[in-house]
Structure 1
């Protein structure tokens, strides 16, 4: 027996409803076409400790909502038996309850479903990590080891064959006990790391993105075994290695000028390649040169030899747990169909682009001319050329009220006796309603020679101050921010003490 914990979702948004729908129902497959035409509910054996199996996911969700700190309360595990083993539903439910007890969730809400639609009978386990009474979540860390130990105990109790895993059954004192398969857990972890094949990131991304088989996965199968077998023979040569790879549509080429590092290329598409050392350690550059001598090109007859199999990036990835060899021919047929469809699509795209190229070029040229004409029509004149700036009535009124200044220009404005704006040469002192009109000075009131602020009591003060004098016996009224200036023919506003 084996226990597997499927990977969690990256967004931590697993759903009780979706999981229960999956474990309770099975796809309905058309026997003639092999297509999925629907799904059938209540086609599997289900056992739960909830009030009813139809409301199980609602009950679990209601309990999980009582603890808002638990981000993902859904727990899912699969218990699988060997292909030659056919346990009853009761035996599978007993194994599921034993697994819940090993995880510390025997009192938690759960649902068990038996599936027999594959070569291996298996049990789906759905549980709520939140306790229905205390609302505390259970810690499921190291659950793989807890479940594996439980599987060995179930195998002893029900009489199943022992599978490999971190735990094993040992004979001690005439009794069978379950303990670590190695002397220490560290030794078992080290052995597993050595067995595990490290897949390159690009190959992993390609398979995840397309669902097709990468060159790395393809080379890890029979091509790797044949290459290692060719190298293990006494008196092995470069030609033996080339021939072992050529049978699978692969080629070996140096990746540098020194010819001490190599890559495995696909004959069908030479641009697709991987490092030779990623296929097997024996294919590393240093080891090959040390064993076979200096690099040698494959003979012409080997290059022209027809391969028994060829790699295709349109070939769907195989599922080694379900069909390692049964559907190889169908997968090759689907790969050929995908490749043909891709070629047809590429040819159609190129033909369409060629037919539309003149019209597209004419459209781009027309848009360019229209954009150029629009740019010339609405071109903004330079800021240092006041003659190119037309002033309409709105701008003229704003200038008269002293609310707009063209900083950086060669002209400044000042109110005259008729309340109209006139131009002054650059550098001449100017006062607009008691404000400094020079660029960068801000809205600060101007002061006269005596240090008093120039008020907005009338146009006479502004005129005499601009001329360098001061009205006799008249004292400028203090200026306040937001105070309106006196208009022509209007008495100056009185100062409000503040």
Structure 2
């Protein structure tokens, strides 16, 4: 069994009046019911205005009373405790009668002007598979009141059996009917929890969860809390706005997995970061502890890691695994298998709490239909056959026709000259028919290529075709790809950062791939060339633009700018615009000047912007006239690599 104590108002004014009014309206007067004038004007005993109202409506709700219900006294004890059947609800009270119980409690409460709220209400509830007797329930009520120090106080208890769990409402008066002193209800929740454990042992009820446990010797011990309680802010968000909080999402997605990893001894900093990352969450140090935050909105709210799971608090993790370790990189060029963890789910604060089960069901259903879609594609690839245009047979048919014409001429024409002439006509017809067949085959192959039947479709193209035909799973798969691309872009922006200088070029104005002595060159499948320095992206060539990123030291910054200038030089020069921070733009332009002064290979650094180009020319003329560039600063361009046929650059600065 367990106990429920409804929350009371903080202003000490009719703490239960509005709540019981709301509950009773839902129970008996629904929104669709018609309100009768006769019923609304009928006087109900116990509803007069008194100093401490609330007993009338509370007793009405507890007893499920209505104007049509009838009361019947079942039994009465020598102590004055009577049991009354009110409709279908069995009640017990120590007042004179159930009908006057609310008025008696109100009159008693008026004798204590210091007690602003004399209504005390709690609920004893049993598990769904239990069916306790009325004697056991009312005995539990009297024992609970006695444990609270309210043995002789006025009370009304009612058993409700119209729900899944049998429960008993107990409404009691805190003011004593003889001394008129109000009972102090401090620590009442613990007292009632202890009562539940004792009653479970004495009356044979099933043991339920609670704040107190009873051992085999009958001693009560405080129950250890396995998991922390929900923070007040997260609880308010989910209750009042019906929106899932970040704490609720983190607990739902990661708590069970963290417990499983911790129990198997596989919990450490790296596994914790990866586990959180799969759910779209991150871990960072914050305010002297650890905080779990949303990777999509890192600047938003965060929750304490210990509130998500006590095993991942900062003291617990440092004691077991040492100091805090940051999350591994999303991509490690030296070890590509490190950091490759995808996000399976993300936190969506706009969704309602009630949508959690629906989202899970839809996600599972989406996975099933996508597996079916993939199976259909595999069946399509396995059963695909190349269209047969019968090329050999059609050419052979033309040749056979020509041979038949010659045979007919040979048998029917006796003149050698005329026969030779007809042979030439047959050959001409053959050549003409073959030329027409080649043109026809070209058109047929073109039609097959346009319709996509010349070769088997790829997975992506096949899904696009299915989506055009109205397949919902294919449309969902395409949206999943789009979301994955956006996620990769966000991760790349987060890892690399924003460039401080960008050189824009015209379309299809490409440059060769360089083997720089100061950079590591990586060519991606989409044609993007990444130049890394120290394992970090330094310069990236996208074809239509070159991005230069912030460097940690001045030396690396010079090498990056020199490489950007070299990549600009090897373009056509028709269009080149340098944009970004003014300081970073000037550094790229200065590297272009250095390149023009040091290299005499016929290629010159120039930009389309007139002001920038004028600055480049003026700087170059100034250094040439001042004879700053001496022979020791000049270098010859490195010879091309004969094997790769790619230029190798090493650009010192003057």
- TM-score when normalising by structure 2: 0.39
- TM-score when normalising by structure 1: 0.50
Structure that is richer in helix per residue: 2
